[in-house]
Amino acid sequence: MTNSDNRAAASAGGALSDLCVVELAAFIAAPLAGMTLAQLGAEVVKIEPIGGSFDAGRWPLSPSGASLYWTALNKGKRSVAIDLRKKEGAELAAALIAAGGQGGGIFLTNLPARAPLDFDSLTARRPDVIMASILGSSDGSTAVDYTINCATGLPDVTGPVSHEGPVNHVLPAWDVITAMSIVNAILIAERHRRATGAGQLVRMALSDVAFATMANLGFTPEAETGGVRERIGNDLYGAFGRDFVLADGRRIMIVAITARQWEGLVAATGIADAVKAIEVARGLDLSDEGDRFRARNDIAPLIQAWCATHTLGTAKDILTKHGVCWGPYQTIRQLVTEDARFSERNPIFRRIHQPGIGDILAPGFPGRFSNLASPQQRPAPTLGADTRAVLHTRLGLAMGEIDGLAKHGIIRVDAPEAGD
């Protein structure tokens, strides 16, 4: 390809349209990373067992029984079904990883590395191979997001003030952050390969991502210097922020971190005189975010009294007019049915047909580029739907050879839609 050809391909199919990534993974972090690369235009070939991965039926399920979890994390990929327990199947997978010309030779996995799919074996096939491996814990022990999060200390400061015992959050944050981090690592390794011709083994542990984040956000330095983070419920630590109930029963979150946000909140709710009285009585300066945190239990009743006389509609107009930082609490169903940001009015979303499920609203890559077209959202593949095409185009196998592999149970070349 010429440089102009590359630019045209990137514009039409995404910035990474010259890359081919082979994914062998389950759970969240690695599949989410693979999907992100696909959203940016890379061809992502997902290798799966002939009977489907162990997470292919994970909840939540659609009415037809198809996994909404699995299809959501694997949009835009190609599915190749191979029996890796057979020597011929494992060798076929290794050949796929090593294929692909300059943009190929990229392997994303979170499964244990065994020959011929370990880094040394793959490097013997292709010296410039890039292998990105996601681990649970940096000490080699098995771990998932939820067994890492409990070790961060965050569950001890999550939940109502009066609650005893840890409170787990429902978002697998470390999986999500690790996914984005491994995407960055793959792109860095690929850039390095283009400059030097060298391959790379990238290993990233959920525990390292979690503990590094705890340090980067100041949680661990606070503990090291004698501080103790206490459970504060829905209050925002270190500034003013809390949930409030409106006259119609709706609940909103109001945050005032910056001086401008605080000034807007005071003006919107008409509490300037009461704020001055608090400052005098307590010797505080509420233009300082730390002092606002100290006085949060004095400030909150003032805001709550204002909220109690306003519905969501009137509160929205007033708070927005004054530049207050706020947001409504809403159920997931309300997000889907009421929030314009989750609709086709938002250009990152488009309705697609997902085999086995039906029409769903699917996001593309959340970033918006001024001079790059984002690839169109594509559904997750059915199991083995691309086996024949990938083996033919990537490895040059003749159709007769592919049929022979299928006959011997090494590959699966077709699959019905989930729920059929």
pLDDT per residue as tens digits for the range 342-365: 999 999 999 999 999 999 999 999
Token pair 């207050």: residue: 324
What radius of gyration do the chain's Cα atoms show? 26
The arithmetic mean of pLDDT across residues 225-243, rounded, is 97
The arithmetic mean of pLDDT across residues 288-300, rounded, is 98
User: How would you class 418 by CB atoms within 10 Å of its CB: exposed for 0-12, middle for 13-18, buried for 19 or more?
Assistant: buried
Query: Length of the chain in residues, anyone?
Result: 420
Residue 324 token pair:
């207050």
Beta-carbon count within 10 A of 301 CB: 10
Helix, strand, coil share (%) of the chain residues, nearest 5: 40, 15, 40
- For the chain, helix (H) and strand (E) counts, in that order, are 17, 12
End-to-end CA distance of the chain: 42
Bridge partner list, 216: none
Bridge partner list, 30: none
The arithmetic mean of pLDDT across residues 189-193, rounded, is 98
Classify residue 314 by its DSSP letter. H
Residue 326 token pair:
């706020």
How confident is the model over 391-403, as pLDDT tens digits? 999 999 999 999 9
Measure CA 389 to chain center: 29
How confident is the model over 86-100, as pLDDT tens digits? 999 999 999 999 998
The arithmetic mean of pLDDT across residues 116-130, rounded, is 98
pLDDT band at 9 (very low <50, low <70, confident <90, very high): very low
Q: Return the domain boundaries, the chain.
A: 3-214+347-412, 251-328
User: How would you class 111 by CB atoms within 10 Å of its CB: exposed for 0-12, middle for 13-18, buried for 19 or more?
Assistant: middle
Q: What predicted TM-score, i.e. pTM, was given to this entire model? A: 0.94
Class of domain 3-214+347-412: alpha beta
Query: Does residue 418 have a pLDDT over 80?
Result: no
Catalytic residue among 175, 291, 298, 386: 175
Percentage above 70 pLDDT, the chain: 95
In the residue annotation, 420 being an active-site residue is answered as: no
